[in-house]
Amino acid sequence: IFLHELRYVKPTLNGNDLISMGIAPGPQIKEILERLYEARLNGEVTTKQDEEELVRGWLLG
């Protein structure tokens, strides 16, 4: 059951959302989406707003 449920876990934000946030298209988009996926799995984010705030934090650094 656990693996069956994990396949449905994914970030709410997508590449277009990240580009709209000012991130240039390229490999960084994939890296951020992978980090968002991990944050979802770890329960660090649960909403789109949480994801946006996390990404902004990473960008500010």
Average pLDDT, integer, range 28-44: 96
Total domains in the fold of the chain? 1
CA geometry: angle 54, 24, 50, nearest 5 deg: 15
- What pLDDT does residue 9 have? 84
Cα–Cα distance, 18 to 28 (Å, whole number): 10
Check whether 15 has a pLDDT greater than 60: yes
Average pLDDT, integer, range 9-16: 94
Average pLDDT, integer, range 2-16: 84
Collect all residues with Cβ–Cβ distance below 8 Å to 53 and sequence separation of at least 6: none
Beta-strand ranges (E) seen in the chain are: none
Burial-class residue 7 by CB neighbours within 10 Å (0-12, 13-18, 19+).
exposed
- For 45-61, the pLDDT digits (tens) are 999 999 999 999 999 98
Range of the domain at 26: 2-60
Average pLDDT, integer, range 35-47: 95
